[in-house]
Each structure stands twice: as C-alpha cells, then as structure tokens.
Structure 1
Amino acid sequence: MRHAIESRERKLDRFFARARSVEDGELQSDLARYGTVLVCGFVERCVEVIILERLSQKAHPRIIQFLKSHFKRGTNYDCEAICQLLVRFDQDWESQFRSIIDANDEWISSLTSAYAIRNAIAHGGDGNKGLAGVETFYGDSKKIIWSLVKSTEK
C-alpha cells in the first residue's frame, strides 16, 4: 500500500516540477487545470488502495470484488465522503480520521476546492486556482491520505 501511494506521489511530484518549468503563462494555466484533475484522481485512487488493502485480509473475496466495482464508479472523495466510507467499515477508523482532519480545517477546504474546480472543468467551466494553488491542494491531499493510512492501521 505505501509503495502504491508513494509511486503515485512521485508521478505527481514530477508533473508539478515539469509544470513549474513552463514559462508560457497560458500553458501553465492549462497545466494547473490538468493538475487539479490529477490531484483529485490521486485522492480517489489512494482511498481505494487503502481501503482494499485494509480489508483484503479480513473480507470475503466477493466483498472485495464488490468494493472494486464500487470504486470504479468514481466518487468525489472530499473529507466528508471519506468519513462516510470509513464508518461503513469501522467506526474507529472514521473517528480517528475525523479527529485528525477536524484539527486541520485548511485540508478540508483545500480538498473541497479541488473537487469544485475539477467538477467545473469537467462541465465546461473555467475553474483555475493557478499552479501554486493547485500545488497547495496537492500538499494538503497528501496529508489527508497519510492521515487516512494512519487512521486505518488498527
């Protein structure tokens, strides 16, 4: 699980390094929009990896298959959606995660903003936070994901 998350992080780190090196403002703006989509995808895939890893040793294989199909639907995993998912499996996971994120309001609003911009882009809107803003989304998203890992350890 950690390897899968770290691998995704490295890919995004390389993307942002390349995007920062672009001097054309319009192109960098386009890359910022694309980066928002990548950040949201990072969260969604990491939530999937964490939950499947935590349950794979405990759950019946049919349950795992069901979960895999559930994750294919695609969900905007803002912090509240993550909490709602966690409580379905283990209330302790949810309470641990909630206690961490409730102490970090900026993470919550950052991820909510990333999804709002991604959804605006997906529906023809013009959402853009600029590259620095999207990198902030990414940094906060990493903190959320590692908090989720920690919250589901027991």
Structure 2
Amino acid sequence: MTRRKHSHSTSARWQIKKLRQDLEDLYVRADPRLFSDQEVAADIGRYLCVRVSGFLEQATSVIFREYCEKNSWGEVQAFALSWLDRMPNLSHDALVKLVSRFSREASVELKEFLDKEERRSRINALIGLRNDIAHGKQQGMSRGQAWEYYEVAEQVIDWLLDKFHPEQISINDSPL
C-alpha cells in the first residue's frame, strides 16, 4: 500500500495563523466604544467568548488532522480523521484525553503545562461560559475578559503546535 499524500493540505501553522487573524480582526471590530448600546457591547463580548472557544477547538482539530494526514494513510487515516470529526468540547480533561490518544508522554506534559498559571481553570471556565452562553444563560462577558481567554487558548495551541508540528529549521536559518 502506498502512502496517500494530500495535495490540498496546507500547513497547520498557516491555517492557525488565519484563524488567529480572523479572531483578532473581530476583536478590533468589537470595540465597545463603537456601540452606543451597552447591551450590544455585552452581547459582542459573549460572542467573542464563543469564538475564542471555537478557535481553541478548530485549531486543535487542524493540528491533529494534519498530524494524522502526515503520519498515517489508508483506512487508519480515514478512521483517525473520522474520529476527529466528533471532537468534544475541549475542557481540560477532554484535551488531555485527546492528546493521550496520540501520546501518553505528551498528555502528561500537557497536564503539567495546564496546571501552571491556572491554565486548567481558565480553559474550563472558557468552555463553561461558552456552554452557558450557547444555552441561553446570561453571562457577563467583556471584550477584555474574552481576550484573556484568547491568550490562554493561544498558549495551549502554541504548545500543541510545538509538540505535534515543530517548526523545521533549515541550514539557512541556522545562526552558525
């Protein structure tokens, strides 16, 4: 059996850069000073929270989909990619469990990473807020609070990228 290559696949880093830029552009457009109605500004803050949670989930999916595409083929690849289509809400536990499906060692490292700087509780809070907002519960959320969640989501995504898609350094990039 030959290894199947995806000619349409782009790098995970490029796709995540695009997801980040879209969210950062939304953040700029969500400046509460642009809205005379404070309820609308609060709604935009809640929408940002939902989008930050979506960023975490989409970027995680991109990372693992590309990892599967590069490291498997045939029926194994099809199975892995179909499983990723059903990715759960990425609470701390769900994220660690997902990573453990790829590497037990990496899941231990991720758990340690998430335990630092209250990342675990911030990720869980983000997912909890997103679920409450999606189910119609009124949650106070400012643009600034949403940005704080974005920063922790970025840290997690950067960790996953470094672990599963380390940047290749060419000889030309070497400082020597």
Q: Same fold (TM over 0.5)?
A: yes
For 1:51 and 1:114, how far apart are their aligned partners in 2?
Answer: 21
Superposed, 1:1-154 pairs within 5 Å as 1-20=12-31, 21-24=33-36, 25-105=38-118, 107-153=119-165
Displacement of 1:9: 0.4
Percent of aligned pairs sharing the same letter: 24
Displacement of 1:14: 0.4
Considering only aligned residues, what root-mean-square deviation do their CA atoms show, in Å?
Answer: 1.8
Displacement of 1:69: 2.8
Cα contact 1:117–1:128 (8 A) shared by 2: no
1:42 partner amino acid? F
For 1:33 and 1:62, how far apart are their aligned partners in 2?
Answer: 41
Aligned length: 153
**Any stretches of 5+ residues in structure 2 without a counterpart?**
1-11, 167-176
Give the greater-gyration-radius structure (CA). Answer: 2
For 2:86 and 2:165, how far apart are their aligned partners in 1?
Answer: 26
For 1:69 and 1:148, how far apart are their aligned partners in 2?
Answer: 20
For 2:106 and 2:74, how far apart are their aligned partners in 1?
Answer: 21
Displacement of 1:15: 0.3
4+ runs deviating over 4 angstroms: none
- Structure with greater proportional helix content: 1
Q: 2:30 aligns to what SS in structure 1?
A: helix
1:112 partner amino acid? N
